[in-house]
Amino acid sequence: MRAISLSITLGCLALSGCSSVFDKHVEYKYVAPNNYPIIKAIGYAPISLQKGVNSSQKQLMAIKASKLEAYRELTEQVYGQKITAGTTVAGSIAQDDYLQSKVQGIIKGAQVIKTYAVDDTYVTELELNMKRVHDLYIGEVKPREVKKVTYY
Over residues 39-73, the pLDDT tens digits come to: 999 999 999 999 999 999 999 999 999 999 999 99
Q: pLDDT tens, 92-107?
A: 888 899 999 999 999 9
The closest alpha carbon to 64, from 52, 76, 77, belongs to 52
Residues 41, 77 contacting (CB under 8 angstroms): yes
Q: State the Cα–Cα distance between residues 131 and 80, nearest whole angstrom.
A: 20
CA 24 to chain centre: 35
* 3 — pLDDT class (breaks 50, 70, 90): low
Rounded to two decimals, the pTM is 0.66
- Domain locations in the chain? 24-151
